[in-house]
Copies of this chain bind each other. A is one copy, B any other.
Amino acid sequence: MTLKELARHLGLSPTTVSRALNGYPEVKETTRRRVAEAARALNYRPNTRAKSLATGQAMAIGHVIPLSSRHEMVNPIFADFIAGAGEAYARAGFDMVLSVVSDADEAQTYRDLKARGSVDGVIVHGPRAGDPRIDLLDEIGMPFLVHGRSTGTNRPYCWLDVNNRRAFQRATAFLLDLGHRRIGLLNGLEVMDFALRRRDGYERALAERGVPRDPALIRSDEMTEAYGYRSGRDLLALPAPPTAFLVSSMIAAIGLRRAIEEAGLRLGRDISVITHDDDLSYLRNGDDVPLFTATRSSVRDAGRQAAEMLLAIIAQPETAPRERLLEAELTVGQSTGPAPKGQPS
């Protein structure tokens, strides 16, 4: 069912039918209704390709999701982020096109997306410090929004981020208030900007209280269950083990819990743990009482908001808001408690 066929069916010109369906004023109300009805009855949908060829709008947003080349791993938060973004796109009549791409090919992917005109804008995932993609996208004139931020980038760009520094600063302070002095940090990969900010928050909180930073207590890697387990096991085996941990993701925290229990220690009593919680749908932090004390920020919600911002930027590049900083809430669960007495300082 094409426009032309529909038009012939109605005894009208394609022009009129097109205008009727797109809400232009120069068509009589009764014909508009007649057209709308016929369109519904015949299940007519304008061909996307033809439409965007004519309008120059792709009506699609690209998500280039980087594949960690080291571990061939795709970050589990993407599913939820994309679910959120998908909602916003669906409402606006946009498609979402995904490219899963290893770091090396990423620049070329953006270039292709632009040159082939397959999307109106992209969401940049997993930004690093001084991320070259921002310059690239600016250069080729592709509208974009960064999920996260990139320190060291001087030109302005649009972003939506969680206040990672503040979140980890507060979490660290919370542990310090409970009397903990040796606090392990199981951070994400520290090429990632969010991980750098979290580490900064952690170190600031320590510095504020004059607690010395011990590099032996800091780990950084991709946030898998195995990483949480291994790091926990290693740190707990130190001569002066930490009494508390700050962890960058629920998945890693679950691995850490395994290490803690395997060491015969009790979570929340012997060892305190605060994790960042992206509020993933399949990994809710407990039912009623949160299992882990956590800095929580729904990544699904972030996806929804990011998509809405990008759509607004594409629609009205001048007036749309260009930056948004979400605060994570610190929810107290069962995984934290006062530092055990008699610890070596």
Contacts and interface: CB of A to CB of B under 8 A. Distances in A.
What's the dominant secondary structure at chain A's contact region? mixed
Contacts of A49: 48-50, 52-53, 58, 117-118
Given A58-B49, A115-B44, A86 B99 contact: yes
Given A1-B115, A47-B116, A49-B52, A282 B97 contact: no
B46 A116 contact: yes
A106 to B, nearest CB: 12
A34 interface: no
A71 interface: yes
B100 A87 contact: yes
A78 interface: yes
B100 A83 contact: yes
Given A71-B281, A284-B224, A101 B90 contact: yes
B46 A282 contact: no
Nearest to A76: B282
A271 interface: no
A90 B106 CA distance: 12
B73 A281 contact: yes
Interface string A240-266: 000000000001001001100100000
13 contacts: A1-B115, A75-B282, A76-B79, A76-B282, A76-B283, A86-B98, A95-B99, A97-B97, A225-B282, A225-B283, A226-B284, A230-B287, A261-B261
Given A53-B53, A60-B97, A72-B281, 9 more contacts: A49-B58, A67-B83, A74-B281, A76-B79, A79-B79, A86-B98, A95-B97, A225-B283, A226-B287
